[in-house]
């Protein structure tokens, strides 16, 4: 278990929770003053009313909920969204409606899930040449031969 500090920005906000013992993601809920309509083929930025603090060895990833995707064509636009360890602002989720119908989000609706993931930092080592491979510079579709 990794400790994550969480702050409600309003007392009415619902804290995220795991819905089953084997769930890797905690459901995030919308925090809205009134229902929000997301038009077909458009997006909206949805408040959660939460902010967090955690170790710099981690990030929080914001991912779609599979049920919303399957049943309503709703997804997180920049999936996975990233919450960096040094960000202290409100967690907000960009929701996109791929469907042909408008979609209504109500206060308290579960809109996404958050997953705590380890971060491995990269040490760049600039070189003049890279080691050769069989694939070489073959790009998109090059392995379908």
pLDDT of residue 28: 97
Going along the chain from its start, the domains and CATH numbers come out as 5-118 (2.70.40.10)
E-assigned strands of 24-102?
26-29, 36-38, 43-47, 50-53, 58-63, 74-76, 81-83, 92-97
pLDDT greater than 80 at residue 141: no
- pLDDT digits 0-9 by tens, 45-90: 999 999 999 999 999 999 999 999 999 999 999 999 999 999 999 9
Query: If you average pLDDT over every residue of the chain, what do you get?
Result: 95
Structure tokens at 60: 């929080």
pLDDT of residue 145: 60
For residue 15, what are the CA distances in angstroms to 5, 43, 49, 79?
11, 24, 9, 21
């Amino acid at each position: 278990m990794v400790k994550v500090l969480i702050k409600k920005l309003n007392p009415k906000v619902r804290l995220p929770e795991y819905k089953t013992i084997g769930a890797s993601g905690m459901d995030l809920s919308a925090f809205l003053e009134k229902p929000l309509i997301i038009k077909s083929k458009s997006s909206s930025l949805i408040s959660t009313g939460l902010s967090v603090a955690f170790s710099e060895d981690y990030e929080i990833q914001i991912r779609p909920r599979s049920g919303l995707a399957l049943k309503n064509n709703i997804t997180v636009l920049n999936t996975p969204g990233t919450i960096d360890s040094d960000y202290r602002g409100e967690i907000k989720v960009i929701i996109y409606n791929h469907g042909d119908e408008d979609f209504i989000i109500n206060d308290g609706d579960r809109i996404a899930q958050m997953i705590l993931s380890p971060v491995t930092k990269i040490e760049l080592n600039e070189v003049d040449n890279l080691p050769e491979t069989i694939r070489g510079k073959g790009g998109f579709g090059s392995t379908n031969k």
